[in-house]
Structure 1
Amino acid sequence: MDRSSDLIRQAEQTVAEYKDIVNQDKYRLHFHLMPPVGLLNDPNGLIQWEGRYHLFYQWNPFKTAHGAKFWGHYSSSNLVDWKEEKIALAPSEWFEKNGCYSGSAIEDNGKLKLLYTGNVKDEMGNRKTYQCLAESTNGIDFHKKGVVLRLPEGYTAHFRDPKVWKYEEKWYMVIGAQSEQLDGRAVLFSSNDLEEWTIIGDVAGTNLNGLGNFGYMWECPDLFQLEHNDILLVSPQGLKPEGMLYNNVYNTGYFVGRLDYQTGVLEHGEFFELDRGFEFYAPQTTVDNQGRRLLFGWMGVPEQEEDKHPTISHHWIHAMTIPRELLFRDGRIYQQPVKELQNLRKNELTLTDVRIEPEYSFSQLEGSVYELQMHVEEFEAEQLEITIKDSVRLMFNKNEQVFTLERVSLSTGAPEVRQCQLTNLTKLQVFVDTSAIEIFINDGKEIFTARMFPDVDNKRMVFQARDGHVKGSIQKWDF
């Protein structure tokens, strides 16, 4: 048996061994993608190929910590019903022996091709990095072609996560990197055949294009067009908190600008955080056959209280966000849940002329797994608070123009918050799963994503208005 088959067999045995323990966890999710066992992190290879959506993911099947990653694989015809496919990549070759790290998928000559980072460490922990190619004719079984790009001069071995696309009949690849000066970078390459790559230059990074100090490593870059704008999506490491900004250990956001494909330089504006919540990192996008720019994110953050998640006792950790469609309005990205999620709706409840003064609760609004929408018609109060499962609070303070997500800290048990500036509140769309919440504000202008671990029997939902009243309509669907 070859090394790849042996590793896959070991992973499959681990899934089988812990299946019952994993599935007994009260915090397993209902409509979010999770690992069958072990640790899940970055979304990889997101693509619609031959009419079917494929989402690969970084996966350590053997423990709930980071290690030598595999590529797990889900597929779907509708973004709602997902099938767990066989393992796509295992770290079996010399150029990836310490992990098949993140990458992307493209279609080329009828084949589904994966470009990914091979991670190698010696006995002293010194790292080497290789960009690798694998291909498939059926979208399930992948043949490794090997190394197509080695580390160029000027960068450390923190050089990974290739995202590939075609522009004007040529292939381009952006890679997350660290310069030898320990500055975060996104680097552009080009190719005619996906196997021979030529460096073009730095797209953006610390101390480039007027940006200043902006992190020591840029992970998981994604470069795409949205409404004729070039968007660089990236996860910089090393940003320091600035008020309401950058409050996670590592953060994710985007620049809007214009890419010069000849020089590789992106002339860009300011950096916008993509998600304001506690758990969001390393997102990846693709375009489907409807022309939609779709995104999945990892509902987690590296090195941020990962060892405190209670799911670890059931041998699994982390999940993906729901799929989102990206739109561009007023110079910013808006994110909206894909319309296919409406197929999960059942037991619709519609309440009109709801007046919250000072408190409002209704037993039919309680639940475990659901979607809630609130349309605000009058906001004549200082603050609106929504408490969900006595675990999280959503608060909008009209006077201070601040939206707050508050939850119980996974490590201390004390309240902790994430916040953003918000001039007014017109709409809330909230997706509640057993141990996850995603909040879309004002049609997706701001988003908060977080894990939460309430008492599993707690289904409470309470609305409160302070110093006044809030009036509007509420819809709820069970999922």
Structure 2
Amino acid sequence: MTKISIKTSRELNEKVNGDYYRLKYHLMPSVGFLNDPNGFIQFNGEYHLFYQFNPLYPKDKMVYWAHVKSSDLIHWSMLSPALCPSEWYETHGCYSGSAVNNNGKLTLIYTGNVKNELGKRETYQCIAQSIDCEHFVKYKNNPVISNVPKGYTTHFRDPKVWKYDGLWYMAIGTQTEKEEGVVLLYRSEDLLAWNKIGEVAGANINGLDYLGYMWECPNLFNLDGKDILLFCPQGVEPKGDLYNNRYQCGYLLGKLDYKTGKLAYGDFIELDRGFEFYAPQVTQDEKGRLLLVGWMGIPEEEDSPTVKNNWLHCLTIIRELHIKNNKIYQNPVEEIKLLRTNETRYDNVLINNEQIKLDNIYGDCFELICDFSWENVLEFGIKLRCDDKENEKTLLYYNTEEKKIILDRCKSGLSKTGVRKCEIEKCKKLSIRLFMDKSSVEIFINKGEETFSSRIYPKKESKNIFFYAKGGIVNVNIKHWNI
């Protein structure tokens, strides 16, 4: 196992901390590469969150589990890495998984990744436990699932485990030998001996149109009386405004038969409309809330300007989920309000075929709420992170003819260019709540009906915010807080 010297660690941290694009209130790696959130759980009153972590990035690939904890989902403290590749069944990384409370022991279930001497992949499902919630001991008889079941490839990973009616269940992402994505369901009495029940859903099952060659990072949970399979299909072709990222994330909503393992479901629905959102993990806390955190990144997209400073990616803010109109609504957890300072408020601002700038509405770390209403207007919106001449800007606007909300980052600085759109039902009101944090923006439309999560890399000086309307008049109520 590769070790990091104290000197190297100190030098890397100095380089990382000097980067303007470091975020203020999002979780990010202290150094190196971050991807999938893992093991999200509330245990003995504290929230624990793990994530895939490569401290040596970009020089070597060594996948650990980083570990943070919090009492309020906002302020996190860093602990020692929970898992490091050290055993034969994980020589090439401790890959993604989940966490459960097993008789008072914080227990991690994860995929051990191996590349054998021929360069072929081997995958093993493993467990590790902790008594003090900080130091983890791997099960002496790991792996607990050694073999990929017949008919599937070694793309077999990311176990999500939960308890139902006294038994343990595991959803695991995999690929058939026909190279079609699928999620399998397993069952166990003790987390050690597992039996396959069947296929929950798959890329060509029950009339679902072909939906990719691999399904990663499954979550299977009940929300407001509905069973939901949330997962990340790889290999889905773009379709209009849909599926425009390299890899997608979305869900099927229906009813799970625990005896057969099959989910009765409807259409696949994208969870987030932004440029960077992948591998979310869901947990239920002691208040009964369904909470979600995602990776604000996409696999195989590593051309960020932060790479030269030896770090890459971040996680989203924590979100609470609900079902409304047979759709998942996402909203920031209530605790996010702890970050608010210096409120600025404007009521009933009329914007008539013009662009305006308001005093004290600017910055690179803030929360902004805008409630728009109108009778006749063609387009209105917000220009974020603008320089004085608008050579640099991030544009969020609503087109009333197309009935679409649009995020345009073609002039957002060093980020990749592009546009993301989604349709909003015809209405005369639109609510936008957004969170800016140096190099990220998370946008919540109509109290969580749609979300856009994206990374942007504007210049430090680009902090102006403008509001505008074209082809008519819009009324807006605005609240702004520094963070």
**TM-score of the aligned structures, taking structure 1 as reference length:** 0.96
State the partner residue of 1:429: 433
Alignment partners' CA distance in 1, 2:453 and 2:209:
28
Answering whether residue 287 of structure 2 is matched by residue 294 of structure 1, we say no
Alignment partners' CA distance in 1, 2:342 and 2:473:
28
Is the alpha carbon distance of 1:366 and 1:474 closer, same or farther for their aligned partners in structure 2, counting shifts above 3 Å? same
> Which of 198, 222, 227 matches 1:225?
222
State the partner residue of 1:353: 348
Matching residue's letter, 1:408: C
SS of aligned partner of 1:295? strand
Is the alpha carbon distance of 1:13 and 1:299 closer, same or farther for their aligned partners in structure 2, counting shifts above 3 Å? farther
State the partner residue of 2:100: 106
**Cα deviation, residue 124, structure 1:** 3.2
Answering whether residue 135 of structure 2 is matched by residue 120 of structure 1, we say no
Alignment partners' CA distance in 2, 1:281 and 1:415:
19
**Cα deviation, residue 16, structure 1:** 2.6
**Cα deviation, residue 66, structure 1:** 8.1
SS of aligned partner of 1:95? helix
Contact 2:412 2:458 in 1 (8 A): no
Matching residue's letter, 1:421: E
Is the alpha carbon distance of 1:418 and 1:155 closer, same or farther for their aligned partners in structure 2, counting shifts above 3 Å? same
Which segments of 5 or more consecutive residues in structure 1 lack a partner in the other structure? Answer: none
Is the alpha carbon distance of 1:80 and 1:95 closer, same or farther for their aligned partners in structure 2, counting shifts above 3 Å? same
Is the alpha carbon distance of 1:11 and 1:476 closer, same or farther for their aligned partners in structure 2, counting shifts above 3 Å? farther
Answering whether residue 439 of structure 2 is matched by residue 443 of structure 1, we say no
**Cα deviation, residue 378, structure 1:** 2.6
Is the alpha carbon distance of 1:12 and 1:286 closer, same or farther for their aligned partners in structure 2, counting shifts above 3 Å? farther
Alignment partners' CA distance in 2, 1:320 and 1:303:
16
**Cα deviation, residue 314, structure 1:** 1.1
SS of aligned partner of 1:10? coil
Q: How does 1:74-113 map to 2 (within 5 A)?
A: 74-113=68-107
- Residues 319-346 of structure 1, C-alpha deviation per residue, up to 9 Å, x if partnerless? 0000000011010000000000000000
> Which of 452, 461, 467 matches 1:463?
467
Alignment partners' CA distance in 2, 1:411 and 1:405:
14
State the partner residue of 2:192: 195
Contact 1:89 1:142 in 2 (8 A): yes
Q: How does 1:125-164 map to 2 (within 5 A)?
A: 125-145=119-139, 146-150=142-146, 151-164=148-161
Contact 1:277 1:449 in 2 (8 A): yes
190-199 vs 354-363, which moves further: 354-363
Is the alpha carbon distance of 1:252 and 1:379 closer, same or farther for their aligned partners in structure 2, counting shifts above 3 Å? farther
SS of aligned partner of 2:13? helix
Matching residue's letter, 2:324: R
RMSD: 1.6
SS of aligned partner of 1:86? strand
> Which of 237, 254, 261 matches 1:257?
254
SS of aligned partner of 1:221? strand
Identical-pair percentage: 48
Alignment partners' CA distance in 1, 2:36 and 2:297:
9
**TM-score of the aligned structures, taking structure 2 as reference length:** 0.95
State the partner residue of 1:398: 400
55-64 vs 66-75, which moves further: 66-75
Contact 1:14 1:37 in 2 (8 A): no
Is the alpha carbon distance of 1:12 and 1:43 closer, same or farther for their aligned partners in structure 2, counting shifts above 3 Å? farther
Matching residue's letter, 2:164: Y
State the partner residue of 1:59: 53
Which segments of 5 or more consecutive residues in structure 2 lack a partner in the other structure? Answer: 387-392
Contact 1:379 1:471 in 2 (8 A): no
State the partner residue of 2:202: 205
Q: How does 1:255-404 map to 2 (within 5 A)?
A: 255-304=252-301, 306-307=302-303, 309-357=304-352, 358-390=354-386, 391-404=393-406
SS of aligned partner of 1:107? strand
Contact 1:148 1:195 in 2 (8 A): yes
Matching residue's letter, 1:373: I
**Cα deviation, residue 69, structure 1:** 0.8
**Cα deviation, residue 416, structure 1:** 1.3
State the partner residue of 1:46: 40
Contact 1:371 1:478 in 2 (8 A): yes
Contact 1:349 1:477 in 2 (8 A): yes
**Cα deviation, residue 377, structure 1:** 3.0
